[in-house]
Structure 1
């Protein structure tokens, strides 16, 4: 046991946040803490880290346990550069390094052999300690973590105070990872990471040897990193062994079992009460009295409480043309810095497109260009016939903070009856009391739901959504997924929620400063294709090296072939082999061009056959080069 909570209870301002919560962190556990927004996940973590004290119960922590905690909105400021601030994590190693330098200088100056031996012995011990603590890897470790979390070389020397809030959060995350505490506790660590950063952090935590607890709504992340799920709900804390999909399966079975147990007990109670009613004053009075006592002593099974799932929907009344949108050489530059190269593509009615790419690649800019909230640097956006556009921005700029929720919805339908407006707000899970509150008082998730309610009133047939799952808990994300899957119009989403993209998107647009790529399929299918292309590129580089080696061998063979008749025969064989190799190289290039074409992967059988032909060609080339080398 590393940390244990004993029946802890916590109240805030008269409201009970947590009640009778018991939990235990055991060695080797990598825990994902899940639950709907506002249920008390962060409060539980702050109690475990002793930032808060429980009103009832207590926390037990094993001696000498080092806890590293990354809050959701951390304070991390300094005049130091990013690199220097993280180097302070290794202060103990830095002290050893300075001592080694001091001793090196002393050795250079000392002339007394006995004293020199003493200095050298001390130097040897400190050097061994320096090496065992990873002193020679400090710079490499810092750079590796910073690059993994999306920082470029040019940012290493930038003062920490000059970074944005999201960048400071990533910097503090880097610090916590480098500290390698016994228990790492991360509250929503994925919020400011792009897809590359998410993948890197997943790999890092998969290989992390210590314990960690993560609060996140990122289901893909939970699937790949944790081996225990803590679910916090109104009924308390339930522990499930396994990753996210295992948790879903176990939870379903548990709910089914609880439902059966409850129904079985209710049938028994009803049957027993009927027996008591019929026999309490008859010949079986004693039996009836006995059964009444049994019921009074019975431990009642609580009625299973299922989460009240949302049922969002976005409808459209108007059908657009088949070609909903045409992008012709659209690109965007800011201060002469190009965000992404010219993009040309057609988007057809009913397509559900996910836009992905690293931070700063212009994903939000492209969405704003399509929504006509920004202008492209080059190219043109053409809308198809009958297009009615709806746009959900990431920054919540399209809401008016001083409006009430009713007033905000009336911006879509100024003369709509209040009863109708209230019914729409209720449909998106706003209570009657909330409807007269100001927009500025809403949480991030509530603001997303309010904007979705506005889109519902507008009934668009082209939806543009910029990070729509931000601030939504898992239940909200699932409800949004269902709404978008049932949406009959065209959808374009910017998102780093890979689980969401896998479920909703059927086409991917990848943006970066170097390239744009359009692929038919969901996120996982796109990543599989991207990995194949990387493998092909590596194989191509190896083949180029082999080809160059073969040419050198051929030149050597040609230079000596005129000496004897046998050499002349070899020269003929070499010429024949070189001709065969040239043909195979040409075939290889043609196959590589086919494998690089995204259209190929729309036909699975054709893609498989092309890949098999490519592998066969590589094998033949290797055989020919080996024969060529044997003739040298």
Structure 2
């Protein structure tokens, strides 16, 4: 066991006026299994890069361990897998590597195949196994679950549960709950560490947020009451001041001592109220700094004139000689929320593309409703570029609604001026989802929409789909999202 000490860490990117981190201090035990969470754009990957020494910063980061980052860059994916491993860790023991691969259900044969021929899941597992062979290294694991199917996620999560000494960035609640023992959270203004899994941290955060909201309301009422009292005191002081001139105004004699005593008493009361107002304002200033807002989202939707939108009967899809899927049969009825499930490579994305009108070779019967309007969210975000105003105009959606949804998904207004190509992976996916929510359609088709998207935004999207009940067909490997949303699961 050793400690990683972060002391008075402050960092901002060149040319930026806003600090990503400001005077942050905390300690990490190198035996911990840390889940790293926070809204998109808060600086999770930035912090990992600071640990790796990629940027200059003020403050200190001290550690007696080395750091390794996942996923590391594979420059030539045509090489055999064992050659890639040798480049990363030349001193590995073959039997140890085989042991790790066996735990991850990867056959030894994979070592002698070109790395590019491995599935996304196999590549993830091979690289993780290689990194965990290194001793005295602390692993920085950045979103390993993207593109992993449910089965592979469970395997990798179980594997990590039996390891230690890592920071894991993931937005999959079930995945985190299964394999971490501490949470490292980037809040709006602080970084905090808490023992336990994600669900325990989230419950504690909700309790803290609810307490602060209640305290804020109580102090707001106190300040209003004190303000009214201050006005009354001011009125009394004016009356006392007038009474000093009593002989001139009414001819009666004024007790100057009594008036002076009363004025002093009024002054003391006024000072007391002022101090209490300042104290209440100071207390309010300490509250709500880390309360996460998760306003409800809106959706544009149109009811289709028939109950059945799509029907597939023993459909098989082909790419040349290669069969993507075989004998797929299901229907999409109005109001259904259907999760399309199956291992990677089972043809899920091909089914979605066929329904969205892509010209694919297929056999079987495929029927789609006439004039059915569909909104499609793809896995790929590489085509996104330009500013948000031009993007909204090019896609024929309401710009104010589009930007309002993004604001609720924690976009800062400064993002509206930037080029979309500079956004983080999670922010780009939010752009695609916000566009889909603005489109007046009968059916939403979403292909792995939650990749890179933070947990709080996932919960907002869940609430939206449960409240408005749009017809949606989706592929998603976040098991909790599927359990909460799907009215029907189609297993390929």
Instruction: Give me the TM-score of the superposition, normalised by structure 2.
Output: 0.80
Counterparts of residues 189-588 of structure 1 (less than 5 Å): 189-208=144-163, 210-265=164-219, 278=233, 281-283=263-265, 285-286=267-268, 289=271, 300-301=283-284, 302-305=286-289, 306-384=291-369, 387-396=372-381, 401=385, 404-413=387-396, 420-429=398-407, 439-511=420-492
Q: Pick closer, same or farther for the CA change 1:400–1:53 going to 2, 3 Å.
A: closer
Paired residues, what number? Answer: 454
SS state at 1:426 partner: helix
* CA 1:266–1:323: 2 relative to 1, 3 Å: closer
- 1:320 touches 1:385 (CA, 8 Å); kept in 2? no
Distance across 2 between alignment mates of 1:297 and 1:316: 49
Higher relative contact order by CA 8 Å / sep ≥ 6: 1 or 2?
Answer: 2
Aligned CA distance change for structure 1 residues 271 and 445 (closer, same or farther; 3 Å): same
| Alignment-derived partner of residue 60 in structure 2 | 58
Q: Show CA shifts across 1:576-622 (max 9, x none).
A: xxxxxxxxxxxxxxxxxxxxxxxxxxxxxxxxxxxxxxxxxxxxxxx
- CA distance in 2 between partners of 1:462 and 1:3 (Å): 50
Q: Which runs of 5+ in 2 are unaligned?
A: 238-262
- Is 228-237 or 486-495 further displaced after alignment? 486-495
Q: Which has the higher helix share?
A: 1
Question: Retained in 1: the 8 A contact 2:374–2:441?
Answer: yes
Q: Give the TM-score normalised by structure 1.
A: 0.64
Cα contact 1:356–1:494 (8 A) shared by 2? yes
| Equivalent pair of 1:320/1:461 in contact (CA under 8 Å) | no
Is contact 2:149–2:477 with CA below 8 Å preserved after alignment? yes
Which residue is equivalent to 1:77? 75
Among 12, 16, 20, which residue is 2:23 paired with? 20
RMSD: 3.4
What's the secondary structure of 2:75's corresponding residue?
coil
Question: How far off is 1:342 after superposition?
Answer: 1.0
1:19 CA drift (Å) = 0.7
CA contact (8 A) 2:315 2:327 kept: yes
Distance 1:451 1:67, change over 3 A: closer
Is the deviation greater in 197-206 or in 441-450?
441-450
Structure 1: state its 5+ residue gaps: 95-134, 512-632
Distance of 1:295 and 1:457 partners within structure 2? 45
Shift in Å at residue 322 of structure 1?
A: 2.0
How far apart are residue 368 of structure 1 and its match?
0.6
Deviation of 1:441 after TM superposition, in Å, equals 4.4
Partner of 2:98: 140
* 1:411-449 alpha-carbon deviations (Å, 9 max, x no partner): 444xx8xxx533443344377776676554444334433
Query: Deviations for 1:127-166, whole angstroms, at most 9, x for unmatched residues?
Result: xxxxxxxx7x435315325x54xx6665422344777999
C-alpha contact (below 8 Å) 1:404/1:435 kept by paired residues: yes
Q: Does the C-alpha gap of structure 1 residues 214 and 323 become closer, same or farther in structure 2, counting only changes over 3 Å?
A: same
With over 3 angstroms needed to count, the CA separation of the structure-2 counterparts of 1:500 and 1:374, relative to structure 1, is: farther
Distance 1:193 1:294 in 2: 56
